[in-house]
């Protein structure tokens, strides 16, 4: 980091601590000259220092957390983001619909454009539908969003997993911090949710390879439904170049409790079987350049998204679609709503106003996610055998007209 950047980084943190005017946070943003003077005095005497008292603590620097932090920090409030890992590395195919209401940071790597989705039924007949989206390199996408949050003034503390919720704040590895509002944006296996004692979400267990040297359709993603290779879920192929793609799948249930599939158990075993033994093996038996695994929440939107001064945003709140598993767009949308609601609550010094977040999210996402959850329940019933999957798929998958009736 160069000297100027270092000065700037410290100045934001330190001026918040020193120029404390709690009742009017916008006044905390100092003038450039003040930055300079303040830092010349302090930087060399206090090597590692940041305020432990914040307006907002966000747990998790995924899309939901970073966007929430950006909105609130841009309004001049003091925001701490606690991130468990030392870098962004959420497992993901990285498909984003073009309806995403976000100016992508330049440093975010777009790997391919997608104009079509080809959906294969178990008998290998297929159905094409138009699509308008793109595939991003997920770690660089998340890192770019985190950088935007940091540039807005949020302090991101990497390698700092949340340990506990304590009165007025949180305890994390290496310290404690207090804040008026806390946001749980810590994903599908949310620590915040388990500390609240709320139910764990139902998940699809996923595995994904990034493959090189594969045979792809042009500007198209492919989705395969087959109870033998992806019971309860599906196989996806998202191109990242002319001959490279992220090929992954999700299966119902935690690893180990999935029946069927000729004795296969883990999602990786199912994926290996798909790319080496299936009818598509010739197309997808390329070089494996990366392997990731993860979980998709399929339990639908949580009933409670807000309690006291605490909000849940993104996967921790069950905002991913229970049928497709897509969750980035909703995480970003909800993060923006959370950010604006938090600003209102802070400005009015009234955490009761946070309840508006739940109402607004339910107004926008409640119906589509409830419909998808209904479909999920049917999918559970029909997914175990290819015969029933073949018959019912049109009413269960989003690209068929029957799904929307
Ligand atoms: C294999 C796979 C493929 C997917 N493909 C797509 C896709 O193509 N398109 C799409 O829209 N969605 C996809 N999803 C879903 C998508 O990844 C999620 O919906 C999205 O990441 C939700 O964002 P989030 O910010 O809520 O959570 P996350 O992105 O999971 O971010 C949570 C953050 O919290 C951090 N964290 C966790 N615990 C703690 C703790 N105790 N303390 C501090 N920090 C913590 C994590 O390290 C992480 O950085 C996929 C998911 C999987 C598993």
* CA–CA distance, 347 with 332 (Å, rounded to integer): 23
Question: Model confidence over 181-222: pLDDT tens digits?
Answer: 999 999 999 999 999 999 999 999 999 999 999 999 999 999
Triad 220, 135, 145: Cα angle to 5°: 165
Give bridge partners of residue 292 from the DSSP assignment: 208
135 touches 114 (CB < 8 A): yes
CATH topology of domain 105-137+201-298+371-404: D-Amino Acid Oxidase; Chain A, domain 2 (3.30.9)
Give the rounded percent of residues in the chain with a pLDDT score beyond 70.
83
* CA–CA distance, 6 with 289 (Å, rounded to integer): 36
What sign for the dihedral angle of Cα 97, 100, 102, 103?
positive
The pLDDT value recorded for residue 195 is: 97
Q: How far is CA 260 from CA 214, 215, 233, 244, in A?
A: 28, 29, 13, 30
Is residue 76 scored above 60 in pLDDT?
yes
Mean pLDDT of 225-243: 95
Ligand 1 pocket: which of 70, 207, 291, 325 to mutate (most atoms <8 Å of CB)? Answer: 325
* C-alpha 312 to ligand 1 mean position (Å): 13
Triad 403, 404, 405: Cα angle to 5°: 100
* CA–CA distance, 173 with 392 (Å, rounded to integer): 48
Is residue 259 scored above 70 in pLDDT?
no
Termini Cα distance of the chain: 56
Query: Which superfamily is assigned to 3-89+139-200+300-369 in CATH?
Result: FAD/NAD(P)-binding domain (3.50.50.60)
Instruction: Please state which of the ranges 16-20, 236-240, 315-319 shows the lowest mean pLDDT.
Output: 16-20
The alpha carbon of residue 270 and the mean position of all alpha carbons in its chain are separated, in whole angstroms, by 24
DSSP state of 315: G
The pLDDT value recorded for residue 202 is: 92
Q: Token pair for residue 344?
A: 């209102």
Paired sense of beta strands 175-184 and 169-172, if any: antiparallel
The pLDDT confidence band at residue 46, using thresholds 50, 70 and 90, is very low
Q: Which atom of ligand 1 is nearest to the CA of 292?
A: 1
Residue nearest to atom 13 of ligand 1 (CA): 326
The pLDDT value recorded for residue 220 is: 96
Is residue 47 scored above 60 in pLDDT?
no
CATH 3.30.9 range(s) for the chain read: 105-137+201-298+371-404
Instruction: Please state which of the ranges 105-114, 155-164, 300-309, 336-345 shows the lowest mean pLDDT.
Output: 105-114
Paired sense of beta strands 126-136 and 110-120, if any: antiparallel
Q: What is the 3-state secondary structure (H, E, C) of 122-141?
A: CCCCEEEEEEEEEEECHHHH
The pLDDT confidence band at residue 89, using thresholds 50, 70 and 90, is confident
Question: Model confidence over 135-168: pLDDT tens digits?
Answer: 999 999 999 999 999 999 999 999 999 999 999 9
Predicted model pTM:
0.87
Q: What share of the chain is helix, strand, coil (3-state, %, to 5)?
A: 40, 25, 35
Residue nearest to atom 37 of ligand 1 (CA): 186
Residue 5: CB atoms within 10 Å: 9
Question: Model confidence over 352-396: pLDDT tens digits?
Answer: 999 999 999 999 999 999 999 999 999 998 888 999 999 999 999
Ligand 1 pocket: which of 133, 177, 186, 206 to mutate (most atoms <8 Å of CB)? Answer: 186
The pLDDT value recorded for residue 335 is: 98
Q: Which atom of ligand 1 is nearest to the CA of 297?
A: 19
174 touches 160 (CB < 8 A): yes
60 touches 83 (CB < 8 A): yes
Is residue 13 scored above 50 in pLDDT?
no
Mean pLDDT of 337-353: 98
* CA–CA distance, 282 with 242 (Å, rounded to integer): 16
Instruction: Please state which of the ranges 42-51, 154-163, 231-240 shows the lowest mean pLDDT.
Output: 42-51
Average pLDDT, the chain: 86
Give the rounded percent of residues in the chain with a pLDDT score beyond 90.
76
- Ligand 1 pocket residue status of 93, Cβ below 6 Å: yes
Strands (E), 138-174: 155-157, 162-166, 169-172
* Alpha-helical regions (H) of 26-114: 32-42, 63-74
The pLDDT confidence band at residue 302, using thresholds 50, 70 and 90, is very high
Is residue 12 scored above 60 in pLDDT?
no
CATH 3.50.50.60 range(s) for the chain read: 3-89+139-200+300-369
The pLDDT value recorded for residue 44 is: 35
Is residue 124 scored above 80 in pLDDT?
yes
Is residue 251 scored above 90 in pLDDT?
yes
DSSP state of 202: P
Instruction: Please state which of the ranges 35-39, 54-58, 306-310 shows the lowest mean pLDDT.
Output: 35-39
- Ligand 1 pocket residue status of 65, Cβ below 6 Å: yes
- Ligand 1 pocket residue status of 206, Cβ below 6 Å: yes
């Amino acid at each position: 980091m160069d000297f100027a950047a270092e000065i700037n980084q410290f100045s934001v943190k330190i001026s918040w601590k020193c120029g404390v005017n709690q009742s009017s946070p916008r006044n905390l943003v100092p003038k450039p000259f003040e930055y300079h003077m303040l830092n010349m005095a302090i930087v060399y005497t206090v090597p590692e220092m940041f305020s432990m008292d914040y307006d907002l603590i966000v747990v998790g620097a995924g899309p939901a957390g970073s966007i929430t932090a950006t909105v609130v920090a841009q309004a001049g409030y003091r925001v701490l983001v606690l991130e468990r890992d030392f870098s962004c590395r959420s497992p993901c195919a990285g498909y984003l619909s073009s309806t995403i209401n976000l100016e992508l940071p330049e440093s975010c790597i777009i790997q391919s454009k997608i104009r079509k989705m080809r959906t294969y039924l178990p008998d290998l007949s297929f159905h094409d539908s138009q699509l308008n989206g793109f595939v991003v390199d997920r770690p660089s996408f998340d890192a770019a969003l985190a950088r935007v949050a940091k540039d807005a003034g949020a302090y991101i503390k990497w390698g700092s997993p949340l340990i506990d919720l304590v009165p007025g704040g949180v305890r994390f590895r290496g310290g404690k911090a207090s804040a008026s509002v806390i946001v749980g944006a810590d994903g599908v296996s949310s620590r915040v949710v388990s500390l609240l004692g709320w139910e764990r979400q139902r998940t699809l267990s996923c595995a994904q390879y990034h493959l090189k040297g594969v045979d792809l359709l042009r500007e198209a993603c492919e989705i395969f439904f087959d109870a033998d290779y992806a019971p309860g879920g599906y196989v996806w192929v998202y191109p990242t170049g002319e001959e490279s793609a992220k090929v992954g799948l999700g299966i119902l249930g935690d690893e180990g409790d999935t029946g069927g599939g000729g004795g296969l158990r883990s999602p990786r075993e199912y994926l290996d079987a798909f790319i080496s033994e299936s009818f598509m093996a010739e197309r997808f038996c390329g070089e494996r350049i990366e392997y990731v695994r993860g979980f998709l929440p399929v339990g639908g939107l949580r009933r409670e998204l807000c309690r006291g001064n605490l909000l849940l945003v993104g996967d921790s709140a069950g905002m991913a679609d229970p049928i497709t598993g897509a969750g980035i767009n909703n995480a970003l949308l909800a993060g923006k709503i959370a950010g604006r609601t938090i600003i209102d609550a802070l400005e009015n010094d009234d955490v009761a106003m946070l309840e508006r977040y739940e109402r607004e999210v339910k107004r926008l996402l409640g119906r589509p996610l409830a419909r998808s959850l209904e479909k999920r329940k049917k999918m559970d019933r029909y997914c175990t055998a290819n015969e029933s999957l073949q018959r019912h798929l049109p009413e269960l998958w989003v690209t068929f007209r029957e799904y929307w009736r």
